[in-house]
Amino acid sequence: MDLQNYVNGKWVDARDGSRFDVFEPATGEVLATAPDSKPADVDAAIDAARAAFDTGPWATMSERDRARILLRAAEIARREHDRLVEMESRDSGKPLEEAKHDIDEVAFMFEYYGGWATKIHGDIPPVGPGAMSLVVKEPVGVAAMITPWNYPMLMAVQKVAPALAAGCTAILKPAEQTPLTALEIPKILEEAGLPPGVLNVVTGFGETAGHPLVVSPKVDKVGFTGSLEVGKLIMKNGADTLKRVTLELGGKSPNIVFADADFEHAIQGTCDGIFGNQGEICSAGSRVFVERSVYNDALEQMVAVAQAITMGGSLEPDTTMGPLVSKEQQERVLSYIAAGKAEGARLATTERTVTDERYRNGYFVPPTIFADVNNNMKIAREEIFGPVMSVIPFDDVDEVTRLANDTNFGLAAAIWTRDIGKALRTAKAIRAGTVWINDSQPAPTEAPWGGYKESGIGRELGPHGIEDYLETKHIYINIER
């Protein structure tokens, strides 16, 4: 499969003809090739988006017509559901069940933001008897979107749908590891009636295809989801053109199990929160705090859940954990497991591998639980982005709140207890953008998503997800003249 960029409504190769290989994580074999885009290719996409915004039909199209295109896109995504699920699963390594969830949510995001397109409005603050003020919401302009490989289509549509609903035009640069479904987005939107140039997609690497978007004076905003390191770089590199940025970065999210929790539910949810999507989740509950009186029982049961997980090819129906996305990521996660052992954490799970010959070159890492972890260990401080749980005992609410907040990150937290007062007190005390009570990981499209501290800037999803694609204009009218 030879993929192409989508620029100004046309499918094109990189100008210098260069391509890179995209690997299937389950087998390690080449799945596709994609254009290795360079600054000239990115500039062409920026020019197309700029023209579509400044002089093209998008900005002048009625909100109703923009809404209809997004609503049609939702229907087309649903029609293509099964094909997209298989493509996403193959490209990213996630099991089919998880890919199904992603694609269902992708279709709903088009619908949800299609609904918002006709409901964005400003207001009229009182400014005295002699004047009127109109506060008007306008699209921020040309928006660039730089996305990661863990939820390839979801993370892209999470940006594209609100941006289009706001009236922006866009350039999407998907992660080099997983470009397949990102290139389906313009196909869906073109069929739904999106004019050329409004959404452009260029594939390639961060420094050559992502960086030009960040420094271009013609791009008004960058929406980024990815690593802390690159997020900081984007903020620095975007400073010269005072780029608006939305950053959704890493996490080291606490998952707190109180002794009075619904035990089985808490154990399963805690495991799902770190082993789901192979642990490649920015909000993964990677630090598991367990009240000391139930610590040994909890550990034993979590190990049992981990050992029962079926690792295998992502398309196999009985697989509950697929491979990691790349060889590089597999090596990175294995190096953290080695660091955990070296630091003296107790490895509580067995180090198994996939036995099926077809997947012997796949990028698998087994579900891994470290017991008796100290919150100062490297495995408790740095984001691993893999199926590695660190379990830490605690004695009371104050101690666990302090430990939970003792991190540079602040993306999410989960609390398991039947005591509603304790749950809400703890939820208020934790510095994180999302707190789940008796659950882990739901991120519904209707509610805001984003981080405190070094987990990011701005919010995606919900109405908040549109705010970041809007400017606010004040029009003052002297009504005495």
- Please identify every residue annotated as catalytic: 248, 282
Can you tell me the distance from the alpha carbon of 312 to that of 291, in angstroms, rounded to the nearest whole number?
34
Give 96's Cβ-side CA count (13 Å radius): 11
List residues bridging with 472 in a β-sheet.
137
Question: Exactly one of 33, 118, 227, 268 binds ligand ADP (CB under 6 A); which one?
Answer: 227
Instruction: Tell me: does residue 230 bind ligand ADP (CB under 6 A).
Output: yes
The least CB distance from residue 237 to ligand ADP, in Å, is: 7
Can you tell me the distance from the alpha carbon of 145 to that of 156, in angstroms, rounded to the nearest whole number?
7
Question: Exactly one of 214, 284, 373, 403 binds ligand ADP (CB under 6 A); which one?
Answer: 214
Instruction: Tell me: does residue 102 bind ligand ADP (CB under 6 A).
Output: no
DSSP-derived pairing of the beta strands 388-394 and 434-437: unpaired
Residue (33 or 405) nearer to ligand ADP, CB: 33
Q: How many amino acids of this chain bind ligand ADP (CB under 6 A)? A: 17
The least CB distance from residue 23 to ligand ADP, in Å, is: 14
Whether residue 67 contacts residue 117, with contact meaning beta carbons closer than 8 Å, is answered with yes
List Cα–Cα distances, 150 to 3, 26, 114, 136, 181, in angstroms. 20, 15, 25, 36, 12
Instruction: Tell me: does residue 273 bind ligand ADP (CB under 6 A).
Output: no
Is residue 434 classed as helix, strand or coil in its secondary structure? Answer: strand
The least CB distance from residue 387 to ligand ADP, in Å, is: 15
Residue (158 or 426) nearer to ligand ADP, CB: 158
Spell out, one character per residue from 104 to 143, where the chain touches ligand ADP: x when CB under 6 A holds, - when not.
----------------------------------------
Whether residue 367 contacts residue 354, with contact meaning beta carbons closer than 8 Å, is answered with no
The least CB distance from residue 56 to ligand ADP, in Å, is: 26
Instruction: Tell me: does residue 206 bind ligand ADP (CB under 6 A).
Output: yes
Question: Exactly one of 205, 260, 327, 457 binds ligand ADP (CB under 6 A); which one?
Answer: 205
Whether residue 273 contacts residue 441, with contact meaning beta carbons closer than 8 Å, is answered with yes
Instruction: Tell me: does residue 202 bind ligand ADP (CB under 6 A).
Output: no
Residue (199 or 234) nearer to ligand ADP, CB: 234
Instruction: Tell me: does residue 146 bind ligand ADP (CB under 6 A).
Output: yes
Candidates 124-132, 208-216, 255-263, 301-309 — which segment interacts with ligand ADP by CB under 6 A? 208-216
The least CB distance from residue 77 to ligand ADP, in Å, is: 22
- Beta sheet of 254-257, edge-to-edge order: 346-347, 368-371, 388-394, 287-291, 254-257, 412-416, 434-437
Instruction: Tell me: does residue 32 bind ligand ADP (CB under 6 A).
Output: no
Spell out, one character per residue from 232 to 271, where the chain touches ligand ADP: x when CB under 6 A holds, - when not.
-xx-------------------------------------
Instruction: Tell me: does residue 147 bind ligand ADP (CB under 6 A).
Output: yes
- What is the rounded (10 degree) CA torsion for 385, 386, 388, 389? 50
The least CB distance from residue 434 to ligand ADP, in Å, is: 20
Helix 63-79 crosses helix 96-116 at what angle (to 10 degrees)?
Answer: 160
Q: Of all helices (H) and strands (E), which one includes residue 266?
A: helix 263-275
Spell out, one character per residue from 71 to 100, where the chain touches ligand ADP: x when CB under 6 A holds, - when not.
------------------------------
The least CB distance from residue 94 to ligand ADP, in Å, is: 15
Taking each continuous run of H as one helix and of E as one strand, the counts in the chain are 15, 21
The least CB distance from residue 410 to ligand ADP, in Å, is: 18
- Nearest residue to ligand ADP by CB is 206
Residue-level length of the chain: 481
Residue (107 or 153) nearer to ligand ADP, CB: 153
Is residue 371 classed as helix, strand or coil in its secondary structure? Answer: strand
Residue 406 is encoded by which pair of tokens? 């003792």
Can you tell me the distance from the alpha carbon of 420 to that of 465, in angstroms, rounded to the nearest whole number?
30
User: Which residues fall within 8 angstroms of residue 227, CB to CB, at 6 or more apart?
Assistant: 148, 249, 250, 383
Return residues touching ligand ADP (CB under 6 A). 146-148, 173, 175-176, 205-207, 210-211, 214, 226-227, 230, 233-234
